[in-house]
């Protein structure tokens, strides 16, 4: 019987690359994002697997409940969950809209937490796997992207704790912490011209590293040598200094 992977944020960037990797390995897919046309295109691209399209805005409080309802109604058994949907915004906390920043918390934190909670019973039955997408932003405070960095610190901390809780029931939780990666993220977040994004990795390479690590059940993965060094340095720097460095790399060239 084919296994099923649920991927949030499947319509572009890393999510789309994960979809390709799962499809090539013969997984059925549940693909979630707002852009229904892009999701329907995925269904047409992969006629040999079952692709269930769920077009939902996960920054709305009821979004996940509706996703879970579809999965339950269609009696889909979930083997892999990829919590990938997310976005960032560049700007001082007080200058950005509070509504957009709260939507970011809802999407990057609450929807990831809620979907994980509701799919855990399924994942227990299948000895399943979870891949949560954090960021190198998780390792230090990020002035001028304060809420985004904080959401990713949550994802990393939550995922590492959950990995330990679930060790005995054989569910693995892998956290992928990409640095700058070429996707739509940079235009949504308006960070294209920052020093950080002058040397972005390809989404194909980053997703492949995440996919292989997920299959191996690794805990935390940082793609790219420079990103690994950056995360290590951030661990040893005083938090105040790490925040200053993060502010510097997020300034425009």
Ligand X SMILES: NC(=O)c1ccc[n+]([C@@H]2O[C@H](COP(=O)([O-])OP(=O)(O)OC[C@H]3O[C@@H](n4cnc5c(N)ncnc54)[C@H](OP(=O)(O)O)[C@@H]3O)[C@@H](O)[C@H]2O)c1
Which residues are tagged catalytic? Answer: 148
**Can residue 180 be called a binding residue for ligand X (CB under 6 A)?**
yes
CA distance 212 to 207: 9
**Can residue 230 be called a binding residue for ligand X (CB under 6 A)?**
no
**Can residue 188 be called a binding residue for ligand X (CB under 6 A)?**
yes
Could you tell me the end-to-end alpha-carbon distance of the chain, in angstroms, rounded to an integer? Answer: 52
**Can residue 227 be called a binding residue for ligand X (CB under 6 A)?**
no
Q: In the stretch 132-151, what mask flags binding to ligand X with x, by CB under 6 A?
A: -x-x----------------
**Can residue 14 be called a binding residue for ligand X (CB under 6 A)?**
yes
| Of the residues 85, 90, 109, 171, which one makes contact with ligand X according to CB under 6 A | 85
CB of 170 to ligand X, least distance (A): 26
Q: Which residues, in sequence order, are bridge partners of residue 52?
A: 30
CA atoms in the 13 A half-sphere facing the CB of 146: 12
**Can residue 224 be called a binding residue for ligand X (CB under 6 A)?**
no
Q: How many helices (H) and strands (E) does the chain have?
A: 10, 9
The first and second tokens of residue 108, run together, are 């990057």
CB of 49 to ligand X, least distance (A): 19
Phi, psi of 53 (to 5 degrees): -95, 125
**Can residue 87 be called a binding residue for ligand X (CB under 6 A)?**
yes
CA distance 124 to 63: 23
Could you identify the residue written with the tokens 């852009």? Answer: 35
| Sites of contact with ligand X (CB under 6 A) | 9-15, 33-35, 57-59, 84-88, 107, 133, 135, 178, 180-181, 183-185, 188
């Amino acid at each position: 019987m084919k296994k099923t992977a649920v991927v949030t944020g499947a319509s572009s960037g890393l999510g789309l690359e994960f979809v390709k990797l799962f499809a090539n390995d013969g997984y059925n897919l549940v693909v979630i994002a707002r852009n229904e046309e892009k999701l329907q295109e995925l269904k047409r691209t992969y006629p040999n697997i079952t692709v269930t399209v769920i077009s939902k805005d996960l920054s709305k409080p009821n979004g996940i409940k509706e996703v879970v309802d579809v999965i339950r109604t269609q009696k889909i058994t979930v083997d892999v969950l990829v919590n990938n949907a997310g976005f960032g915004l560049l700007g001082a906390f007080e200058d950005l809209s509070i509504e957009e920043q709260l939507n970011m918390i809802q999407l990057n934190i609450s929807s990831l937490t809620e979907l994980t909670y509701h799919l855990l019973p399924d994942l227990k039955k299948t000895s399943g796997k979870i891949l949560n997408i954090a960021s190198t932003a998780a390792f230090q405070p990020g002035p001028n992207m304060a809420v985004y960095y904080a959401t990713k610190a949550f994802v990393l901390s939550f995922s590492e704790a959950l990995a330990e809780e679930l060790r005995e029931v054989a569910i693995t939780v892998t956290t992928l912490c990409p640095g700058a990666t070429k996707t739509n993220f940079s235009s949504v977040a308006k960070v294209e011209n920052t020093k950080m994004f002058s040397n972005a990795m390809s989404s194909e390479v980053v997703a492949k590293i995440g996919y292989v690590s997920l299959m191996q059940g690794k805990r935390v993965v940082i793609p790219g040598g420079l990103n690994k060094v950056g995360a290590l340095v951030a661990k040893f720097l005083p938090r105040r200094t790490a925040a200053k460095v993060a502010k510097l790399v997020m300034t425009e060239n």
